[in-house]
Structure 1
Amino acid sequence: MANSFTQVHVQSIFAVKYRYAVISSEWEEELYKYITGIIQNRGHKMLAINGMPDHIHIFFGLRMDQSISNLVQEVKIGSMNWINKSGFCRSKFYWQNGYSAFSYSKSHVESVIRYIQNQKQHHKKENFLEEYRNILLDFEIPFEEKYLFRSLE
């Protein structure tokens, strides 16, 4: 075959270091635009982005010329530096180490977009740890509780 054809839809989730709730509603839209710019400047397609003060969901169409891990690392480092340069937080902002990434078929794209767009309403019923644990269970990803994000204390 002379050409390669792919269609890969990925949801990535990552949290603020120590799950501090520091992403403010005053600047979250600017953050989402900045992250969208990183993704689109690399040739990927942003499908949805949203989150809560302590974590973020991004859903994108992945081009195969960049790995998921490299893209997420670029998003996290770029957005962290932008947040710190902008002075949005009183102390230095960091994303927590690690991330998750889940792939979806084309038939699930619209429901994942709606799910991400409705994060604020969703988290009125389920906290981040419950959400994250349920996603891992839905995808049948083995995990140990001690390695999941710690509850806020």
Structure 2
Amino acid sequence: MKIEYNNLYTHFIFTTLHRVPLISEKFRERIEKYITGIVNNNDSQLYAIYANTEHVHFLISRSPKLSEESLASIVAESSQRFINQNNLCDNNLSGKNLHLPFQYQNRMLTEFVNTFLIKRNIIVK
């Protein structure tokens, strides 16, 4: 299957309800890998991901066949179910989490990667 990305870059931030720090460091990498799989299995490409204790950042390019809203819903619902079923948080995650999408053009994407992701050691140059 041919995957087209067409420079549709989006930086998502998902937060826990009331930004309560529910994501444990010991499960952070497992959650990141799971979200990576969801993104890749939905005709999208993940460039960077980082799970903090109360929110998750991830930068993707998506197929034009898939809207930001649909991808956000798929990732949120699947990851919430995975986290709750595997007891990866002290409390169950709620379905009322905040999803903030930010779109980037190529020039803006380069600036974002250099100033945010690399300087904060989220990705390595």
TM-score range, shorter chain: 0.7 to 0.9
C-alpha contact 2:80 2:95 (8 A) present in aligned 1: yes
Provide the secondary structure at the position in 2 that maps to 1:53: coil
Q: Does 1:70 align with 2:70?
A: yes
5+ residue gaps, structure 2, are: none
The structure with the greater share of residues assigned to strand is 2
List runs of 5+ in structure 1 lacking aligned partners.
Answer: 121-153
Q: Deviations over 1:40-77 (max 9, x none)?
A: 00110101111321111111011111110010011011
- CA deviations on 1:115-150 (whole Å, 9 max, x unpaired) are 246278xxxxxxxxxxxxxxxxxxxxxxxxxxxxxx
| Aligned-residue identity in percent | 23
Partner residue, 2:79: 79
SS of the residue corresponding to residue 26 of structure 2 reads coil
Q: Please tell me the residue identity of whatever aligns with 2:83.
A: I
CA contact under 8 A between 1:51 and 1:119: conserved in structure 2? Answer: no
Structure with bigger gyration radius: 1
SS at match of 2:72: helix
Q: Does 1:28 align with 2:28?
A: yes
**In 2: Cα distance, 1:31 partner to 1:119 partner:** 18
In 2, distance between residues paired with 1:18 and 1:100? 14
Aligned residues: 117
Query: 1:127 matched to which residue of 2?
Result: none
Confirm or deny: 8 A CA contact 1:16 1:95 kept in the other structure. Answer: no
Residue number in structure 1 paired with 2:16: 16
CA RMSD of aligned residues (A): 2.2
Q: How does 1:43-58 map to 2 (within 5 A)?
A: 43-58=43-58
Structure 2 length-normalised TM: 0.82
Q: Residues 113 and 88 of structure 1: is their aligned pair in 2 closer, same or farther, counting only changes over 3 Å?
A: same
Structure with the larger RCO, 1 or 2 (CA within 8 Å, 6+ apart): 2
Quick check: 1:8–1:63 contact (8 Å CA) kept in 2?
Answer: yes
